[in-house]
Chains A and B, each alone.
Chain A
Amino acid sequence: MIPGGISTIEQAGVALRSGAITSVRLVAAVQARAAAVGESLGTWIARFDEAAMAAAIEADDERRRGVDRGPLHGIPVGIKDILTTVEGPTTAQSLVLDPAWGGGLDAPVVARLRSAGAIILGKTTTMEFAIGRPDPSKPFPLPRNPWNTDRWTGGSSSGTGNGVASGQMLGGLGTDTAGSVRLPAAYNGISGHKPTFGLVPKSGCVPLGFSYDHVGPMARSAWDCAAMLSVMAGADPSDRTTVHKPTEDHLAGIDRGVEGLTIGVVGNREVAAASTGLTMDRFDAAVDELAQAGATITTVEVPLYGELSAAAFLALQAEAFAWHRADLIARWDDYGRPTRLTIAQGALLNGGDLVQIERVRQRARRRVMAMMAAEGLDLLASPTTGHGATPFRGADPAATAIAALHTPAWNSTGFPALSVPMGFDADGLPLGLQLIGRPFGDGLVLAAGHAYQQRTDWHLAEPPDGNGR
């Protein structure tokens, strides 16, 4: 798709440093790709073509002068349109949000990418406020899956997911409140990482569920996600949920492999019950691959797993209602129907309900930590979702996807979780392997994903023509 067969940030970095390609050529290639397929795939809310090319020229000039800002220098990325950028307004794919929201500033995480030399290509599609449904009644693009355009991309980081998969960007930002980085990563056949809660600042991101939201990198490979996360992570005074930890270079340990690690397969019945047989076969094969790479595999029951999964959806509705209440009262009809009906359910919980959900969440987090310690587990593993991308026709694609999600428990615990491609279903649609770590064990999670991708090439597979079959 890109000159020189480049499809990853890692490959692009090598080519840029060797002089085999320039950032200008790289950006021109992805912009041409966006012009060709971006509209039909519903990838973009806004593209900043001129500003991006100017930044690419600057990156090449810096490189000629001997300035190297690191692995993201000159790399084109997309930003989910619930994160603010200086180039233009943020819509959250909604008619409701004040276009001035965010004050015309970069979100801290965007500023960090920009400072590391990343080229901001534009703003990518989402679901309304990251929780609505694909909604043709609203004046926004409808994101489609490049592996089959009759299928959904997953959400809510839809445009970043299909943009990376179709070669319109090498990486990008998503956000994840119940699986919104990992689901589109799985459905589009790319990698996506939900960091530990508190590792990456969320300020400058339109909130959905304050205590469940995470900003995460999406790209083809775990290596690429590690490169992005190394830049994105770190406390920021604008987000008091961020945790002061020493800045970590997640690429430094990326080659450690899985030798000597113990990985617990999530054996709770909910996982297999909500997954197709073929998904479980692909998952078993992926786990075998990790075993052959030196990991010890055991099967475990995650305590209060169902409650952890339910907590994310119930509490995020209440937290979202707290943020949206005034606008829901004043502008009910401006919200999409699925969005307003979902958020309004937050008004049906009472204070005691929310407190009890949060008490159970704390107890469950504690028990999972204790279980991992007692079993000597370094990581947990499960399929990301029970099946491949859902169709637009028939049932609500988002509701069908949510029923088979194996991601929300890890929003409730706040633990890091990575989705990497692990093969295809019977319809040729990608499936995801989810690796979960201990809090602030993001580097180990990414290293395990990288080890898996050193033995497989699912993450390098490209859609047949990048624009559906």
Chain B
Amino acid sequence: MDDDPTETVRALLAAAGLQPPDDEIARLAELYPDLRRRIDRFHAIDVGDEVAAAVFRADGGGEAGR
């Protein structure tokens, strides 16, 4: 990752349709390295063939939600 993630953050926000003022982009850029670090921890976990639930169920599924 770049030392200064400001332009990365600006580009990600713009791709999502957001154009905050510079001071708020700067604040999000400050937060971004920690956010990225927390996300990357998840990618380091081997979960094999686990799938995400389209509709989450606390008991893992079994009967239809409706």
Contacts and interface: CB of A to CB of B under 8 A. Distances in A.
- A, B from the same assembly: yes
A241 B55 contact: yes
A136 to B, nearest CB: 19
Given A241-B55, A365-B60, A341 B28 contact: yes
A242 B66 contact: yes
Contact of A197 (B32, B45, B57, B64): B57
B57 A414 contact: yes
A366 B60 contact: yes
Contact of A241 (B12, B17, B51, B65): B65
Interface of A: 196-198, 211, 235, 237, 240-244, 304, 307, 310-311, 314, 321, 325, 328-329, 332, 337, 340-341, 344-345, 347-349, 353, 355-363, 365-366, 369, 413-415, 439-440
The secondary structure that dominates the B interface is loop
B27 A341 contact: yes
A244 B59 contact: no
B35 to A, nearest CB: 6
Given A196-B58, A310-B41, A347-B18, A240 B66 contact: yes
Nearest to A304: B45
Contact of A362 (B9, B50, B55): B50
Nearest to B46: A363
B59 A235 contact: no
Nearest to A353: B39
Contact of A325 (B17, B20, B24): B17
Interface in B4-59: 9, 12-13, 15-18, 20, 24, 27-28, 31-32, 35-36, 38-39, 41-43, 45, 47-48, 50-53, 55-59
Contact of B59 (A311, A347, A439): A439
Nearest to A362: B50
A356 B55 contact: no
Interface residues of B, number: 37
Contact of B24 (A337, A348, A360): A337
Closest 4 CB pairs of A and B: A414-B58, A358-B52, A347-B16, A439-B58
16 contacts: A197-B57, A241-B55, A307-B45, A314-B35, A340-B24, A341-B31, A344-B13, A348-B32, A348-B36, A358-B52, A359-B52, A362-B51, A363-B48, A365-B60, A366-B60, A369-B60
Contacts of B3: none
B63 A243 contact: yes
B51 A359 contact: yes
Given A325-B17, A362-B52, A357 B42 contact: yes
B18 A360 contact: no
